[in-house]
Amino acid sequence: MRSALGIGLTGWALSGLPGPSGARVARAEPMPLTSSRTVAGVDWSKLDKRVRGRVFLANDTEYATAKQIFNTRFDDEKPTAVVQIDTVDDVAAAIAFAAENELVLATRAGGHSYVGASSATGAMIIDLRKLSGVTYRDGEAVVAPGMTLNAVYRELDRFGQTIPTGMCPMVGIAGLTLGGGLGFESRRYGLTCDRLAAATMVLPDGTVTEVSATSRPDLFWAIRGGGAQLGVVTSLTYRTCPATPKDVVQLAFPGELAAQVIAGWSTWLSTADPGEWACVSVDADGKGGLKCWMQLVSPAKEGVRAAVELMAATAKPLNVEYRSLNHMDTVMYLAGGNATQPRANFTCGSDVVTELSADAIAAIIEAITAHSRAGGTGWVQINTLDGAVRDTLLDDTAFPWREHAALVEWGNYQQIPHEQAAAWIAEAHGLIAPYSAGAYVNYLESGDPVERYYAHNYPRLAAIRRKVDPQNRIHTVLVG
């Protein structure tokens, strides 16, 4: 989901994770159990006793709040229970309990799932948000799964370091990484999952395992782009990169030149330095018209030159705004100026195009124009898949889109009803179908075939899932 504009040791004590000495911080006494914790044949009092965190059931007063995720469209979902995790040990206990009672599982970290997977009716939700903290040493950062992107940026910035992630500040680092992770540093440093060096996971049978290139390499391959369908990640280790100042240039173009701008942007990318990044947005005004704009991010002092080259390849802009910012100010600007965002109702989807041909661009423009004429006020945002994204070999990770031109995101943000938004996105998929290779799993849509998100990697991923989750304990909305 695009940002509001378009697009050491810390935290361990509060999270209940082990500190540097391995000791755990004492927690408050558990909440009193309700009079009856036996629901639908499951004795939830046993789980209450096993975990340090809290178990919320439908008859608990705090259940409605506990099950909320970012998208208000899923407020009526009814998970079987929400297990609020205090410690890593809680995760293993909760998963073992789910296996014993044949319960379906879903995980919540950031809670931004496009299909509401982290509040799914009938699933036991494992809420990881209290597992927070970042440690940094010698070019590697160990990150807890409850951290948001903004929190990770801030903690690593203290050491002059970062990792390439997205721009929406409240998105969870774990979910973003497992699905791939695109952002303004992707052309230079690759996907978020490309920087992942190791992880700790709890598998659906309750087994805790270390995952890396040398320990469970099958799982290490799968969690880099395969999504959250193999277990619960409790720790992620990344290779970091320098956090450097940036120039940020925002350019607005005439809407009627949107096709020309997209084509020129694609041409500019073919010769642009990997440290330079830009995305294109085309917004529907609800009256049949379009608004076209870009955000360009470059190394400090290179923004004016890069913008001139980009304009030469595209069109004369209506307006240009230039900023020279330090790393964290860049992050905050791209996030819309805030570290938090209010909950909202949104409907989104995506396509991955192999080539931004003239016909593919025409289909994109036709889709967003038709939406505008029908009173829609959504957008299409196009992000590049070139640069360092292609440095990782096609079969080295589960992320399948290493030889493709761009990710096309279709979106509506609460101005129109979900049904209208979903119908338009379906029409957009139809228009771009001749040029679409599939979709991005972090922009998941309900009822899609699994192959749409994993392409040639699906058979290998499916085989790994059958091995680690033969009972299909992990919730999914995909078909197949």
| pTM flag (> 0.75) | yes
Grade residue 10 by pLDDT with cuts at 50, 70 and 90: very low
Q: Does residue 94 share a domain with residue 183? A: no
The CATH number that applies at residue 186 is 3.30.465.10
Residues 6+ apart with CB under 8 A from 224: 177, 178, 180, 191, 193, 194, 196, 397, 398, 399
Token code pair at residue 295: 């955000």
Q: Is residue 475 within 8 Å of 117, Cβ to Cβ?
A: yes
Cβ atoms within 10 Å, residue 287: 10
Grade residue 41 by pLDDT with cuts at 50, 70 and 90: confident
Comparing C-alpha atoms, which of 178, 183, 74, 6 is closest to residue 446? Answer: 74
pLDDT at 38: 64
Q: Does residue 151 share a domain with residue 104? A: no
The arithmetic mean of pLDDT across residues 125-154, rounded, is 97
pLDDT at 229: 85
pLDDT at 479: 63
Q: Is residue 165 within 8 Å of 183, Cβ to Cβ?
A: yes
**Percent share of the chain, pLDDT over 70:** 91
* Residue range of the domain that includes 224: 134-243
CA–CA distance, 399 with 225 (Å, rounded to integer): 4
- The phi-psi region of residue 438 (left if phi > 0; otherwise alpha if psi is between -120 and 50; otherwise beta) is left
Cβ atoms within 10 Å, residue 325: 18
Ranges of beta strands (E only) in 32-76 are 38-39, 42-43, 54-56
Token code pair at residue 253: 């173009």
The CATH number that applies at residue 58 is 3.30.43.10
283 falls within a domain: no
Structural domains counted in the chain: 2
Q: Does residue 94 share a domain with residue 43? A: yes
Grade residue 34 by pLDDT with cuts at 50, 70 and 90: very low
214 falls within a domain: yes
Q: Is residue 380 within 8 Å of 408, Cβ to Cβ?
A: yes
CA–CA distance, 153 with 170 (Å, rounded to integer): 11
469 falls within a domain: no
The arithmetic mean of pLDDT across residues 376-391, rounded, is 97
pLDDT at 48: 95
